[in-house]
Every structure is written in structure tokens, then in C-alpha cells.
Amino acid sequence: MDSTVKNNNSRIFYGWYIVIAVFFANWMGAGIGVPVFGLFFKPMSSDLGWTRAVTTVPLVMRNALAQFTGPVIGPLVDKYGPRYLMTIGAIIAGVGTMLMSQTNSVWQFFLFFSIIGAVGNAGLSHIVTNTAIAKWFITRRGRATGLAATGINVGEAIMTPLIHVLITTIGWRGTWVFMGLVPWLIIAPSSYLLMRRSPEDMGLKPDGGTNPTQGSVTSTKSVTQLEEPVWTPREAFRTPTLWLLLGAISLGNLSVSGVLTHQIPYLTDNGLSPGMAALTLTTYAIFAIPSKILWGFLSEKIHIRYLGAICLIGSSMGLIILMNADTNTEALSFGVVYGLTRGSWAVVQSLLWADYFGRHFLGSIRGYTAPFQLISWLGGPIFAALVFDTTGSYTYAFMLFIASYILGAVMLLIASPPQNSVSP
């Protein structure tokens, strides 16, 4: 057994070390990735003479390329685990991020951010990290996923003001160099030392082998559910449920990606200062932290599809506030509402796939569905950019995103769990 691995008699279940490693990967991934790119949007486009659409395309291409890696990454997670995928991914992500400081043309932006960045972030994607957590937990899966996902918002809350200060003091080029050091110093070491494939590889059981009937865990999941049926990718793709989930998640991602890319430019267009726009994102991140934890714990008592519908409906309400935000108070109100609702989306997505189709082939199922989400990840940001370049406003784009949130919520409510009698 690896010398870095805790033995079976450890008082702390090793799955919580997996949660810690994923927390740091989420923290640094969000703190150097697309969520904070809005801070670079205007400085880079102004210095390099690019339109909003030109600046947006490499961002969405990065997401698109990451989706295409899913069918490769997913099965690798199931077979070999996340340790080397995350470690190598962090190293490559650091290279691409540092090279962004040398960007002078669109093709360099594509190469450094879209291609190298996508390859690196494929190893740090939710397909890898949240699949790892799902394999280590069943009864405590919700809380484990929620706690690990708070790393996303801790990263946004801490790195957003830091990056804003760095851009204003050392410029956007120097800030990219700083950001490139982060995955090398934090994600790569923690991933290599802590990540492991499954509890069975270490002679353990999910959740530490606790018996939920003995009162140690309060959960609405029955014993038969705790024995999770085995859904192979072939079987899962034959169910109507998978396609309903895929449709709902894609509609949610369409809106999430569009707002995520353009929320800071939108706020500054409405007369808010870059500092206030950054504070709005920080406010969102702060309120998204309890949202993820709450949704995680609630998912052990309430079916995840109901929580998912609430998340999407609440997100549409937050976006309505954003559309009317032209004062500091209104902008911060958007951050609060959007954080408390949209903030749980990463947890909702992960638990939908895991709770519906089990942990045994989860990486493969999530990986094979990733390319189908390509249109949503591409469509949201590009559509919003084209609408702005054509009309000078994001209004029509945001109206579409509101409708997508609502329709996605309806599809989740319809998606009842599939039935499969096969068990491990």
C-alpha cells in the first residue's frame, strides 16, 4: 500500500482526504479560470483591440474542447482513478495560464487559453473530481460533494479581489504569470499526495463502512438504495431519464455559461466601477458557500431533482435582478440571490448523475454525455456576445437565459429515477 495512504484503522475516514484535495482543486481552478476572466475582459480587449465576440470565443472554445475530452477522461477515472489525471492536469494548466502573459494575437489566445488550458483543465474537471467523491460516499455523498464544491466559491471570493488588485498594479500580463504558479504550488502536490480511486482499493467501504440502520447517519436513502444498482453506460443511454437530465443540465449550463462570462462586463456597462463589479462576484461567491453546503445536506433528505428545480428557478430570479442592476445595492442584491440559488448548481449536477446512475460507471457516463453539452457551453457566451455587438445590450440574451432556467427546472421535475435491478 502507498506510504501516503492512511491505514484502515485511521480514525478519520480516508474519503474526507479526497474531499480536501477536491476542495483545493476547486478553489484554485475557479480562482484562475473562467469565473474570474471577466476581470481581464476589458483590459485585454482594450489593449489588443478586440471586440466582445472575439474575446469571448476562446473562452467558449476552451469549454467546448473540455467537453470533447469527456469520453476519454471519464473511463480513465473509472479505471485508474483521479490521482495522475489531476496532477498532470494541474501542471499543464499552469503552463497555459503563464503563457497567457505573452498573448498578442487571437491565435495565441486560442493556443494558450483554449487548447493548452482545456487539456490541463480536463484533468481537473468535475467529471474527475466529483466522480471521485461519489465513489467514496453514498449516504454522505451530498454533504461531501457540497463541502468540496465550496472550494469554487472560496476561490472566487479570495482570488477575485486579489486579481483585481494585481491587474491594477502590475497589469494583466503580470497577473497571468502569478495565476500560473497557483496550480503548480497547490493543486498538483495535493492531488498527488491525497487522491485515490475508490475505497475498495484500500480495503474500505463507502462512507467508512457505517451501517445507516444503526443511527450513525440520518438519511432518507433506503438500504436498497445504499447498495446502488450498477448502470453501465449502454444501459443508462437507453433510459428516457438520462436524456431528460441531459436536457435540463444543458439548459442550465446555457444560462450559467452566458452569465458567468458576461456578468462583469454587463455591470461595468451599467456604470458600476470594476471594483464594484468584482465585489458583486465576491458577494455571489460568499453566499454560494452556504448554498452548496445546505443543498448537499438537504439532498440526503430531499430528492435531488426537487432541489435542482429550486436552484434553477431561483437562478432565473437572480438574473432578473441583474437585468435591472444599475446601482451598487441592486448589484449586490443580485450577488446574494444568485449565490444562494445558482451557487448550488455544481452540487446539483454532480448529485443528479451519481444518485440516478450509481458510482460504478459514473465517470464513463458523465464523460460520454459531455459532448452533448457542447452547444450549451458554446451557445450561452457566444450568443450573449453577438447580441451585445449587434444591439449594444445584453437584454435579449438574458431574457433567453431566464427562459432556459425555467424550462430546465420543468424537465428536472419530470425526470423520475430509472429502475434497474442489477446490483454490485
pLDDT digits (tens, 9 = 90+) for 222-232: 433 456 778 99
Report if residue 214 sits inside a domain: no
Whether residue 7 lies inside any domain: the answer is no
Question: What is the residue-wise DSSP string for 10-66?
Answer: -SS-THHHHHHHHHHHHHHHHHHSHHHHHHHHHHHHHHHT--HHHHHHHHHHHHHHH
Question: What value does the mean pLDDT of the chain take?
Answer: 88
Instruction: Classify residue 281: in a domain, yes or no.
Output: yes
Contact partners, residue 46, CB within 8 Å, separation at least 6:
none
| Distant-in-sequence, close-in-space partners of 1: CB < 8 Å, separation ≥ 6 | 7, 202
Give a yes or no: residue 118 inside a domain. Answer: yes
Closest CA to 235 of 72, 413, 77, 356: 356
Q: What is the CATH number of the domain that holds 270?
A: 1.20.1250.20
Q: Cell numbers for 298, please give them.
A: 438537504
State the distance between the two ends of the chain, measured CA to CA, in whole angstroms: 25
Establish if 390 belongs to a structural domain: yes
Look at the chain and report how many structural domains it folds into: 1
Per-residue model confidence as pLDDT tens digits over 334-351: 999 999 999 999 999 999
Domain assignment present for residue 423? The answer is no
DSSP 198: -
pLDDT of residue 223: 39
* Structure letter (DSSP) for residue 220: S
* Average pLDDT for 165-171: 93
- Domain around 294: 15-208+219-414
The pLDDT score that the predictor gives to residue 167 is 92
Amino acid at 91: I
Q: Write the pLDDT tens digit of every residue in 293-352.
A: 999 999 999 999 999 999 999 999 999 999 999 899 999 999 999 999 999 999 999 999
Q: Give pLDDT tens digits for 70-90.
A: 999 999 999 999 999 999 999
- In a domain, residue 36? The reply is yes
Mean pLDDT value of segment 363-375: 92
Pick from 61-75, 240-254, 319-333, 396-410: least confident: 61-75
Mean pLDDT of 124-138: 94
Which pLDDT does position 10 carry in this prediction? 53
Q: What is the mean pLDDT of residues 181-190?
A: 92
Tell whether 213 is covered by a domain.
no
Read off the pLDDT band of 191 (50, 70, 90): very high
